[in-house]
Structure 1
Amino acid sequence: MSIERISPAQARQRQQAGAVLVDVREAHERAAGHAEDAVGVAKDALEADPRASLPDPAAEIVLICQSGARSLRAAQTLIQAGYLRVASVDGGTTRWLAEGLPMAVPEQSDEERDFYDRYSRHLRLPEVGEAGQRKLRAARVAMVGAGGLGSPAAFYLAAAGIGTLVLADDDVVDRSNLQRQILHSEERIGMAKVESARIALSALNPRVRVETFAERISSDNVERLIADADVVFDGADNFPVRYLLNDACVKLAKPLVYGAIHRFEGQVSVFDAGRHRGACPCYRCLFPEPPPPEAAPNCAEAGVLGVLPGVVGLIQATEVVKLILGLGESLAGRLLNFDALGMRFRETRLRPDPQCPVCAAGREFPGYIDYHAFCATQ
């Protein structure tokens, strides 16, 4: 059966004569304005259970979307479900508005208006949508390091709408940081990095809560930092903190998004052994022992290409968002290596170590150790 296609003016006339006008766009689209007196029912919800919103299959029903495509598909579904008088509005809400027909804008708080405007491009993604964006808003991410890796990641996580970012770093901004640590600026040299980061992130997205943790991470405070986090971000620049974070995340069953950079190369992975014992590796499965200090100098000693932490940090941020939303395939069990000079990515499969002293299946947490001594003696 062919579907009747009508103009917005005809739709308005039928609405005034008693037809039910149904806007099948998503809630975030209707929030910007909809045809006056239209009933809002998202297309997927309408198709899943038409009778819940339209109990009378004999009633005259007019469907409208943004341009007319979705309403046509929804109309076909209704006809197949036994509805007898269904029409679709050609040109949708766009044409309705262009022809000067009356519109209604739902009453919203400033916060909700900001939500729909700011995240409109996320809301258009079916894989994210409003439910996913609200999940991001409710999330808490603990970030260790507000430097090279933490800077780009924190910017994009704040922009994406992560509700709470906890930034841990005990350092202050130095002029040498500005070549790569884009959270900071010339006028904030000498300021605590976490405070400098809070200023930058709040300017970008004032709806994101930024909690500062201006302490050196140790066995005494690491659990206080990550206990309530949904995801932990490793932007550390030294091995003692990496091993400590790994062990704490295994103990508290937190996914750890790892990143590291050296000169022109970087690597990223997700260590999720705490939630998946025996199935996912931890950092210790990859590096049972740290390399000697001379084999892994820090950026101050070896130098680093300024744009490199941007690439690596943004891959880490992507993994954080995916973990919160439950989207796609994480890097758990995979190590992604990036060679900036060759512009190549290489993937290495990682397996859990059945003898790992921390994450082996059935093994009790052995307790924290003196990580500085452990790294210094290897």
Structure 2
Amino acid sequence: MAIPELSPAQACTRLTHGAVLIDVRQSHERAGGMAEGARGVALDELLADPAAHLPSQRQELLLICQSGKRSADAAQALLAAGYCNVASVSGGTVAWREQLLPLVQPLTDAAEQDFFDRYSRHLLLPQVGEAGQRRLQRARVLVLGAGGLGAPAAFYLAAAGVGQLRLVDHDRVERSNLQRQIVHTEASIGQAKVDSARERLLALNPTIKVEAVPMRVSAENIDGLLEGVDVVLDGSDNFPLRYLLNDACIQHGVPLVYAAIERFSGQVTVFDAGRQRGVAPCYRCLFPEPPDPAFAPSCAEAGVLGVLPGLAGVLQATEVLKLLLGIGEPLIGRLMRFDALSMQFRSSRFGPDPHCPVCAPGAPFPGYIDYAAFCRGS
């Protein structure tokens, strides 16, 4: 049976004659404005128990959504359920707004309105939605390093609404950083990187918390830094720190999102051996021994294309959000390599080392070692 459709102007007229208008959009969509006189009842709630919201099957019912499709589907379902006087508003709230018909803002406090406005594009994604965004709001992420990788990654995590970011870095901003560490500005030179980053992140999203920790990470303080953290993002640039961070994340059962860059190339992966022993590999499984320093120069020694850490950092931020939301396929057991000059991405799989001294099933935690000596080969 064809669903009757009314224009927004016709629906507005019918309201004055006693029709009931139901907005079937989700609450975050209605936060942007509803047709005046409409009641908000999300589509799934309405169809789950129509009688709870629409006791009379003879009442004239008008349904409206964003563009008209969901309301037409809902009207069809209500007709099948015995409601005999149902119509859909053609063009939905978009057309209602375009025709300058009256809109109202649902009653909500300022913080909730900010939430719905700020994350409106996330809220439209079925994989995120309001529940997922609330999960991000409660999440805590440790970003180790406020430099080339940490700068873009932290920017996007802050924008995405990750509720608490713990930034750890002992360095101060130098002019040479500004070519790639986009969280800092000329005015930040000489300032602690974590303080500079905190200012910029809160300017972008004042609803989150940013904890600035101007500290050199060591075996003595790593456990405290990992306390209460859901995911760790590794923006470090030296091998002793990477091995320390790997071991600590296994000990605490926290996933670790890793990246490294050099000149025009980079690599990204996710280590989650602490929660998935024998299934997910760790950093030591991929790199049992540190490379010869001659073959792994730092950016200060070899140089780096300014945009390259941005590319790697954004990939890291993407993996962090996937882990927090429990969506997609994280890069666990997959190493993503990319070459900016040829703009090619290659993914290769690697598995856990059954003899790994840190993450092998049943292996007791060996404790933290002298990582600098380990990386020197002494």
> 1:19-57: CA deviations, max 9, x gaps?
331101121121122122322122233334434433444
The whole-number CA distance in structure 1 between the counterparts of 2:97 and 2:295 is 65
Q: Secondary structure at the match of 2:5?
A: strand
Q: Counterparts in 2 of 1:154-303, with a 5 A limit?
A: 154-303=154-303
> 1:267-295: CA deviations, max 9, x gaps?
00000111111111111110111112222
Corresponding residue number in structure 2 for 1:116: 116
**Worse-matched range after superposition: 97-106 or 135-144:** 97-106
The whole-number CA distance in structure 2 between the counterparts of 1:59 and 1:364 is 69
The whole-number CA distance in structure 1 between the counterparts of 2:208 and 2:24 is 31
Q: Secondary structure at the match of 1:237?
A: coil
Q: Counterparts in 2 of 1:1-378, with a 5 A limit?
A: 1-377=1-377
Aligned residue type for 2:125: L
The whole-number CA distance in structure 2 between the counterparts of 1:49 and 1:258 is 47
What is the root-mean-square deviation in Å for CA atoms of aligned residues? 1.6
The whole-number CA distance in structure 2 between the counterparts of 1:205 and 1:10 is 42
Aligned residue type for 1:250: I
> Aligned pair in 2 of structure 1 residues 52, 278: CA closer, same or farther (>3 Å)?
farther
How many percent identity over aligned positions?
Answer: 63
Aligned residue type for 1:40: G
Q: Secondary structure at the match of 1:207?
A: coil
Aligned residue type for 1:62: L
Q: Secondary structure at the match of 1:158?
A: helix
The whole-number CA distance in structure 1 between the counterparts of 2:98 and 2:348 is 55
> Aligned pair in 2 of structure 1 residues 275, 50: CA closer, same or farther (>3 Å)?
farther
Q: Secondary structure at the match of 1:243?
A: helix
Aligned residue type for 1:305: L
The whole-number CA distance in structure 1 between the counterparts of 2:95 and 2:307 is 46
> Aligned pair in 2 of structure 1 residues 63, 348: CA closer, same or farther (>3 Å)?
same
**Worse-matched range after superposition: 242-251 or 89-98:** 89-98
> 1:183-234: CA deviations, max 9, x gaps?
1111211111101111111111111211011111111111211221111000
**Shift of residue 362 of structure 1?**
2.0
Contact 2:145 2:169 in 1 (8 A): yes
Q: Secondary structure at the match of 1:368?
A: coil
Query: What TM-score do you get using the length of structure 1 for normalisation?
Result: 0.95
The whole-number CA distance in structure 2 between the counterparts of 1:306 and 1:213 is 25
Q: Secondary structure at the match of 1:233?
A: strand
Q: Secondary structure at the match of 1:270?
A: strand
Q: Secondary structure at the match of 2:261?
A: strand
Q: Secondary structure at the match of 1:157?
A: helix
The whole-number CA distance in structure 2 between the counterparts of 1:282 and 1:14 is 64
Q: Secondary structure at the match of 1:351?
A: coil
**Worse-matched range after superposition: 69-78 or 88-97:** 88-97
What are structure 1's unaligned runs of at least 5 residues? Answer: none
Aligned residue type for 1:78: L
The whole-number CA distance in structure 1 between the counterparts of 2:99 and 2:135 is 38
The whole-number CA distance in structure 1 between the counterparts of 2:59 and 2:103 is 23
Q: Secondary structure at the match of 1:346?
A: strand
Aligned residue type for 1:161: G
> 1:94-131: CA deviations, max 9, x gaps?
33344454432123322222222221111222221222
What are structure 2's unaligned runs of at least 5 residues? Answer: none
**Worse-matched range after superposition: 146-155 or 217-226:** 217-226
The whole-number CA distance in structure 2 between the counterparts of 1:188 and 1:102 is 47
Aligned residue type for 2:78: L
The whole-number CA distance in structure 2 between the counterparts of 1:369 and 1:61 is 71
> 1:163-199: CA deviations, max 9, x gaps?
1111000011111111111111112111111011111
Aligned residue type for 1:66: Q
Q: Secondary structure at the match of 1:269?
A: strand
> Aligned pair in 2 of structure 1 residues 97, 176: CA closer, same or farther (>3 Å)?
closer
Aligned residue type for 2:2: S
Contact 2:31 2:117 in 1 (8 A): no
Q: Secondary structure at the match of 2:336?
A: strand
**Shift of residue 58 of structure 1?**
4.1
**Worse-matched range after superposition: 14-23 or 339-348:** 14-23
The whole-number CA distance in structure 2 between the counterparts of 1:56 and 1:241 is 67
**Worse-matched range after superposition: 125-134 or 10-19:** 10-19
The whole-number CA distance in structure 2 between the counterparts of 1:320 and 1:80 is 44
> Aligned pair in 2 of structure 1 residues 97, 347: CA closer, same or farther (>3 Å)?
closer
The whole-number CA distance in structure 2 between the counterparts of 1:259 and 1:49 is 49
The whole-number CA distance in structure 2 between the counterparts of 1:217 and 1:114 is 35
Q: Secondary structure at the match of 1:348?
A: strand
**Worse-matched range after superposition: 367-376 or 35-44:** 35-44
Aligned residue type for 2:238: N
Contact 2:319 2:330 in 1 (8 A): yes
